[in-house]
Structure 1
Amino acid sequence: MKYVLLAACAALFSACQNSADSMNQVVSQKYVHKYGFDVSEDEWEERSQEGQVITLLSSGVKISRSYENGQLHGPTTYTFPHSSTIEKIMMYDAGTLLKETQCDTSGTPLKEEIFEFDDRTIVTTWDEKGVPLSIEEYDNELLMEGKYYTPDHVLESTVEAGFGEKIKRDRTGSLLSRDIIEDGLAVQRVSYHPNGQIHTISHYHDYQLHGEQLKFTASGKPLMKLNWNHGVLDGLKTVYRNGSKIAEIPYNNGLKHGTEFHYDDLGHLTAEIEWKTDKKHGSSKFYTEDTAETEWFFKGKTVSAQKFDMLDTRERLIADLTGD
């Protein structure tokens, strides 16, 4: 069964890959000299390669690349599938990408990136009316300067010299997130539900989740509390339902380790499960109003209580002898 499943997954991946490849297959390609007349591919290769190469993909996307002296120079454009509307414009100078602009289906700019020669990048985003939402300047991917605007184009926050608050809105103006920026990096992010309620409060260090993270429902009730250590769960994970705590799950370096507790909606204990390095190890106890059941595990395998005691004692003796 395992091998059948693996084969099915491999076949599905291959089919998806083949589908993506087929969408990017070249249907036609023509070469246009800078003076406007068509040339063959051989003539294009033999000449100085100045003009345009126009490619039509099976997806319906039309790509027009401009060349000078055999290098990309001027605009390279991508249309939306089966449309003459430009989706992306890339501006080159002697093979170097200077600017990239993305547009919506009406041709209105969505986002523009200007690439400076000193590893700086200036990023501008616009709303659906073409009004700027944000203007940012990055230095080697560090956010150094930023201006962020309300839907009425009122400045609402800034980042200066790598410190400040970054606000992200969608193109309709709805608030998506607020980031606290320090030394060019986000150290805290508050994200929002579409109704404006807080969705998550997260802390970061070097682009990774680090510290406490809180999650809330769209009605504002607690949903989850987690603890992270540089992108890895480490500490107690608490789960809530309708605002009430229903589970506490301990983690150590990404692995379940310790005693996991479960509760009903009234706060009554319903389960205690012992873990060791992500495997059930010890007793698993389950409670109802009238009964209590216990199962025993040793490194993830079901055993009796007596066998657990025997195996656990033997392991401790070996550890004492070897000094582990």
Structure 2
Amino acid sequence: MSQQSKPTKIEDVAQKANVSIMSVSRAIRGVEGVSEKKRAEILKIARQMKYMPNSAARSLAVANSNLIGISLPTFAADVFAEILNGMRQTFDTAGYSSVIDTTEYDSTAELNWIRRLLSWQPAAIILTGTDHHPETRELLKASPIPVLEIWDHTDDPIDICVGIDHFEAGRLIGEHAIEMGYQRPAFVSTPRGHDKRADARLAGIRHVFSQQRSTPVLASRPLLGNAFVTGFEGTKTLLAEHAPDIICYLNDHMAFGGLMCCQAQGLSVPEDIGVVGFNGLDLGSVLPIKLTTVRTLRRLMGITGARNLLARINGVPTEQSIVLPLELQPGQTTRPQTDDDRLKDQAGGQTLSVHRWADAGLQNL
């Protein structure tokens, strides 16, 4: 084997960077003892030389730790609480403890937390989503510590991931809306870029309506606040400025706020307007009518992710990326398809109201 084809060793990186092997190790593990400037220089050289810590070293690096760091966007959401519940029960059984932090959807806050956490040499790290600060990905790629990304899906995770395809979730909602004959769709969400998964679901809905109806999906993005209030205010804005016949929401809590707004406006659901939530939360079981929503397997996601991460910690090969199934659950907040709707489908679904909606939507994309 030629010298060029041999795998790069940590000694090679140390020699190239003109530092000690211990300094390279500290830089890659993100622990104290190396300045940020020197750490960045060492990591750059390691990437250029294609240095990767082997799996045996990864296992040894975490063999004496029983701490798992978990990063969540917020505590104010049932979704992440249920994912966390599935994970923690699995970790408790295996003898691992967890430390939890929230980022409030701030990638820089996540990065700073990871830097602090790495100094503790945890057994593993769990991140929510697959969209991170570029330095986060570089830092963890170079680290020997196993990393699980949860709730989202990518074919190129930092290490392993277990989640759902949010674009596909939006596509399911869009196809259901079209099948039920809706032609003037809208979406209530958070400010653009705040939650990449919400943006992906909106993109999925827009894709379907663009392909099958050539119709835009208007979006209302109220200021951040209580989910019920956000749903109410977003709906209020849409009803005042437009005339949607179906509104899809970031989650079931926002959908509940939207239902209350429709009721306050004297609109009947689903006769006058359709409402679609997301996640299949327990809230739906106490609503006066069954909410149309998409069910996500949150607890199973936590359990599956935790089990795969434990396998990585113990050096057992596991699937790199797992996508869990989604289930659209039709309820009483969307109408059944009528004969008139079927005739419109056969004719291409184009009516004067759709064209007017498209004109109104040009300034709301």
TM-score, normalised relative to structure 2: 0.24
Identify which of structures 1 and 2 has the higher relative contact order when contacts are C-alpha pairs closer than 8 Å and 6+ apart: 2
Q: Rg bigger for which structure?
A: 1
User: Going by fraction, where is helix more abundant, 1 or 2?
Assistant: 2
TM-score, normalised relative to structure 1: 0.26
